[in-house]
Amino acid sequence: MNEEKQTYIPIEKLEEFKENKDSIIIAVQISFKNDTEEDIHEGLIELTKETTSGTWVEISTVTEGSTQADGWIVHEHGKIGYIGIPAHNWDLSGGFNNLPANIMGNYFGLGTLKQARFLDVYFPPEIVKQFPGPRFGVDGIYKKMGDMKRMITGSIVKPKMGLNPIEWATVAENVFKEADLVKDDENLCNQVFCPWRERFTETMTRQQAIIEETGEPKMYAHNITTIDILQRARDVKALAEELGTHHYSMMVDGIISGVNSVHRLRMQDDLPFPIYIHRAMHAAMTRSRDFGINFLVFAKLFRMAGADYLHTGTYGSGKMGEAESLHPTLEEDDPEIIPLELLDDTAYLNRAITKSWGDLKSTLPMASGGLFPGALPRIRRFNGAIGNAFQIGCNAGGGIHGHPRGTRVGAKAFKDVAVAVETNEYQSLEEETTRRAYLDDFASMDGNEHVKQAFDKVEWGLLV
């Protein structure tokens, strides 16, 4: 079967959706035997049995009642199968810990399958409404950021490991003097060289002074990915209360800690702080075209579980190898069919975590990974094309600390570009050439040398 011709039909657009909308539906792409239509159908039967109630051979222990847990094929589309799973197969009392084995479990290991990619999932409203979703959501986060009418600009302190608390907080302070958000990196938590209490105290003390001096909203996403996340969160809250500050989010490496950990954190009403989900390790599962899980699945689960912020890629503007471009398809509201590769696009992910979904608030997309000041105009354009305008957070580590004039100036360049692309004049420019000319003129103005240095830096440049 011809791979590049494979398209994807969103689950809710299937002709059979209506009669299956009270069940869980998963979309999986497989390769089986010679990939004829018959082979794919046979492979999907194997997969359906393995992920619901069956096994590799017929068994004598099936009862009339046990068929209530059987799965079925809803629709077949090339090498993609849409599989119905009874909603009661998810033991909701088990939270997200009982879900993966039902929708992304054994079938990846079936020796008969030559490919198994879990592309997408649909949950019936009866299930979705059992989950809290983000406590703040995009609007709540922007409210915390003073309802700024631009992209939220942030930085990851670099070097990501090895600095002592004073050194780390000093880098953070220089970011806070100009930009909005600072975060711990994915592997920094409570190492001996940078204990969390000292880092949090030094950082928040400096942050508080800048907030008092400038009146500007700031946010520190502090990594609490540890053995007992809830205890750490409570210890952080107690320390913050001692310091008299609350401008922080609880950052969790969500893939590593598990969606259930995020859900449990969200359910703590004595911890009413934003939850920031970093997705470290996701690429071990999401990049392979052979066996893996599309990040879209995790994005939906993290939104259900309560993620206020979620890393979802950079619309192909950064270092994490997304060879992606926004497909015109997404400029339509609700496409009937899309190119399969669009499922991995930041654009599709960001649409999924911000569009209306039951009573769940939206999750703020965070773009990160090889960003720099000149990358922001393109991100803003793509984010606008899916209808989200300036509502996105953009983080740069190397793209701020690598500025020729250091962190503070790099952070200023990053923030100043985010401001520049929000002018009505810039937003009215249709052509790439006129957008580039506008920003080059902006960078050439007196006082904007720091922006010009960023645009001129050979590893950075300007993407419009």
By beta-carbon proximity to ligand CAP, the closer residue of 165 and 398 is: 398
Residue 279 engages ligand CAP in binding (rule: CB under 6 A): yes
Q: Output the smallest distance, CB 156 to ligand CAP, in A.
A: 4
> In angstroms, rounded to a whole number, what is the distance separating the alpha carbons of residues 203 and 4?
49
* One of 398, 409, 410, 416 touching ligand CAP (CB under 6 A): 398
Which residues within the stretch 355-394 sit at the binding site for ligand CAP (CB under 6 A)?
368-371
Nearer to ligand CAP, 318 or 377 (CB): 318
Round to whole Å and give the CA distance between 390 and 388.
6
Q: Identify which of 177, 274, 158 has the alpha carbon closest to the alpha carbon of residue 221.
A: 274
By beta-carbon proximity to ligand CAP, the closer residue of 279 and 381 is: 279
d(CA 394, CA 415): 10
Q: How far apart are CA 359 and CA 427, in angstroms?
A: 32
Backbone angles phi, psi at 120, to 5 degrees: -165, 160
Q: CA nearest 205: which of 165, 234, 235?
A: 165
Whole-number Å distance between alpha carbons of 390 and 145: 13
Task: State which of residues 330, 397, 429, 462 lies at the interface with ligand CAP (CB under 6 A).
Answer: 397
319 binds ligand CAP (CB under 6 A): yes
The site partner of 421 among ligand CAP, Mg ion, none (C-beta below 5 to 8 Å per kind) is: none
Can residue 240 be called a binding residue for ligand CAP (CB under 6 A)? no
CB of 366 to ligand CAP, least distance (A): 7
Is the preceding peptide bond at 159 cis, omega within 30 degrees of 0? yes
Q: Which residues are catalytic, by number?
A: 158, 278
Q: Is 185 in the site for ligand CAP (CB under 6 A)?
A: yes
The DSSP result for 296-364, as a single string, is HHHHHHHHHHT-SEEE---TT-SSS-------GGGGSSS-S-EEGGGGGSHHHHHHHHHS-BTTBPP-E
Q: Which stretch binds ligand CAP (CB under 6 A): 28-36, 153-161, 217-225, 341-349?
A: 153-161
CB 182, min distance to ligand CAP, A: 12
Q: Are strands 338-339 and 309-311 parallel, antiparallel or unpaired?
A: unpaired
Q: Which of 54, 137, 292, 399 binds ligand CAP (CB under 6 A)?
A: 399
- Closest separation between CB of residue 28 and ligand CAP, Å? 24
Contacts of 211 (CB under 8 A, 6+ apart): 217, 218, 247
Please identify, using beta-carbon distances, which residue of 187 and 329 lies nearer to ligand CAP. Answer: 187
Distance in angstroms (rounded) separating the CA atoms of residues 150 and 167: 30
Least distance (Å) between residue 345 CB and ligand CAP: 13
Interface residues with Mg ion (CB under 5 A) are: 185-186
Cα distance from N-terminal residue to C-terminal residue, the chain: 38
Which residues here bind ligand CAP, judged by CB under 6 A? 156, 158, 160, 185-186, 279, 311, 313, 319-320, 368-371, 396-399
